[in-house]
Chain A
Amino acid sequence: MMDGIFLGISTALTSYNIMMVVIGCFAGTFIGMLPGLGPISAIALMIPITYGMEPSSGLILIAGVYYGAIFGGSTSSILINAPGVAGTVASSFDGYPMAKNGQAGKALAIAAYSSFSGGTIAAIFLLFAAPALAKVSLSFQSSDYFALMVLGLTAVAAFAGKGKFLKAAVMTVFGLMLATVGTDSDSGIARFTFGRLDLIDGISFLLLAMAAFALSEAMMNILENKEQTQKEKDDLNESIGSLKITREEVMEMAPTVGRSSVLGFFVGVLPGAGATIASFLAYGMERSFASTKEKLKFGKGSLKGLAAPESANNAACSGSFVPLLTLGIPGSGTTAIILGALISYGIQPGPTMYVDNPALFWSVIVSMYIGNVVLLILNLPLIPYIAKLLTLPKQLLLPLIIFFSLIGVYLVTFNTFDIYMMTMFAVVAIFIRIIDYPMAPMILGFILGGMMEDNLRRALTISDGSLAFLWERPITFTILIITVVLLLMPMIGELRSKMKKSKES
């Protein structure tokens, strides 16, 4: 393991890769700061640039963008109460009131230090958890992988939120359907191509990700025609104040940061959970731990109320890399996009990546930590200036985002059909957003669709067409049992709440 870590450090610490982390963190911070554009859009926009790079440099850039986007989301949450990312919504509960009290600088500093601490604790956990899980998963067979993918997709739907289970499930199936377009990898038979040669290779993941996130988010901004309010403009023009935090405040927040980081990491590891759930859980946990007097401060500028979600969301980001790097199974929309990028580089993440590509495996883990350091020492002092970018008029920003989305996809294939298809998908994505269906399960279903089919085929071939593989192997069976429990959980929850409602009425 130590050899791997040193190899990772030597790869991550080359001047080129450090430059990539820095660029990634800055680009991510800027994009994440723009309300509506989250880490998925930020990563999707960056992927075409990484195609010409070494896989390790590309992935390092992407990891930097991921962290930067989360940090950028916190900045807009705190300064103008407009979270750029769902994972930073909880940060606005106490961050924005602090900013309103003239403590914007302190709030930003707390966000940065908490994120850094969360990232550090999670990186240590990742350092041990990832290789351990990778070793265990070396014994996994195709039936186990198939079951894991079913679990991942079910978990995404199960954690989608109250009343959203079926919506997330149908979006997952929609993604699976789109994944079947193109040539069948086993028989070479064309499926759902309708005689078009452009569809023979299937739908590009980058095209779908870009259309469903970056492009449709920019188009939604145009459709909803949301102008920056005068209040938001005033908030941005106010001085952010001092960035200093006192020793007493650090001591007050330290246990919160520790607890929330551990919680965030484990929530991040769970497929389907991620930064949003982690931040809300951490906020809730801290509120319940707080004394009655402290409880009153929550929502009005509590330091703990800001530190908890910030540590948790950053730790969850690191945690979400565990299933991705060790099992090759993404647990969230963001890691699904990263998986797509890895596959485009010709790398299949999973237990063999740990053995075959140790430099890449460890350099990603090390660069995540470097990303945290970069965010702390470079982004934090520059935040007052970066935040001014938020004042850029939308009428200039949106056409540019749309242009970069279109050209990013076009440059991969040089096929104009991709631009038409992307436009069409963006229109469908806008409709889906209007009717309020979640988009992340679709991209997860799309990315996992091909792998799921391949593993199912292999498992069926090994078991001679019998479905007995589902219960014959203990690992497969256990994973499927967990899947069933996850499947039943939201249903039971909804039933209970309905019964409670009917009792009350």
Chain B
Amino acid sequence: MAKNTIGSLFFLAFSIFYFINVFSIKKMPGGHFEVMTASTFPYYIGLGGIIISTMILIFSFIEKDEEILSLSYLKTLDFKTTIYFVGAMMFYGFTIRSLGFIIATIIFLLIGFVLLKERNIKRILLISVGVSVGFYLILNNVLGVYIEPGMIADYFVGDES
């Protein structure tokens, strides 16, 4: 399928979804007296989105020299590692509060290095621990940004709160 066809279908679907949701924007009492309400601007850009993506879609069928999203290109992409990375990022978001900054960051970086096939264990540990602890110290002591170190750090240093 042509790249433009795929793109236009995606943006058309998004624009339609957006346009439908414009009608669920609440109206202020007496809003019909206003020259412009909260839904006026979204209404027109939603409409604009539908029109432009439909135009791209039509042109993608008319044009013969459209660039195709080939299966051979897709086969070269490493979806597995990327999906694992997306999972690691979600996991990081999930653990940064519960485990704390230092532990969550060490785990995230460890996973990242391993996923990208870094095999030098010493280097992996040194960088992940060094970056997490170093960045934590810079944040707290230089930039004055307090960020919870987490339970393990609390265990060693003691909970100051």
Contact = CB atoms under 8 A, between A and B. Distances in A.
Indicate, yes or no, whether A interacts with B: yes
Interface of A: 49, 52, 166-167, 169-170, 173-174, 176-177, 180, 184, 186-187, 189-192, 219, 222-225, 393-396, 398-400, 402-403, 406-407, 410-411, 414, 416, 419-420, 422-423, 426-427, 430-432, 434-437, 452-453, 456-457, 460-461, 464-465
Contacts of A456: 36, 41
B25 A189 contact: yes
Nearest to B6: A435
A170 B52 contact: yes
B36 A189 contact: no
Contacts, number: 166
A177 B113 contact: no
Contacts of A416: 93-94, 96-97
Nearest to A461: B35
Nearest to A169: B52
Nearest to A192: B21
B152 interface: no
Given A52-B143, A395-B118, A403-B112, A189 B49 contact: no
A425 B144 CA distance: 29
A423 B94 CA distance: 12
B78 interface: yes
Contacts of B53: 170
Interface string B114-143: 011110000100010001000100010001
B145 interface: yes
Nearest to A460: B35
B59 interface: yes
17 contacts: A170-B53, A173-B48, A176-B45, A177-B14, A177-B18, A180-B41, A187-B31, A190-B26, A223-B81, A398-B116, A399-B112, A403-B112, A419-B90, A420-B90, A426-B86, A427-B86, A456-B36
Interface centre among A167, A426, A432 (most CB of B within 10 A): A167
A326 B14 CA distance: 35
Contacts of A426: 86, 89
A394 B31 CA distance: 55
B49 A174 contact: yes
Contacts of A430: 82
A167 B77 contact: no
B117 A52 contact: no
A170 to B, nearest CB: 5
Contacts of A427: 86
B91 to A, nearest CB: 10
A222 B116 contact: yes
A423 B93 contact: yes
A222 B81 contact: yes
10 pairs of A and B residues whose beta carbons are closest in the complex: A399-B112, A419-B93, A395-B116, A465-B35, A184-B38, A395-B118, A189-B38, A435-B7, A225-B78, A453-B41
A402 B89 contact: yes
Interface in B39-95: 39, 41-42, 45-46, 48-49, 52-53, 55-56, 59, 67, 69, 76-79, 81-82, 85-86, 89-90, 92-94
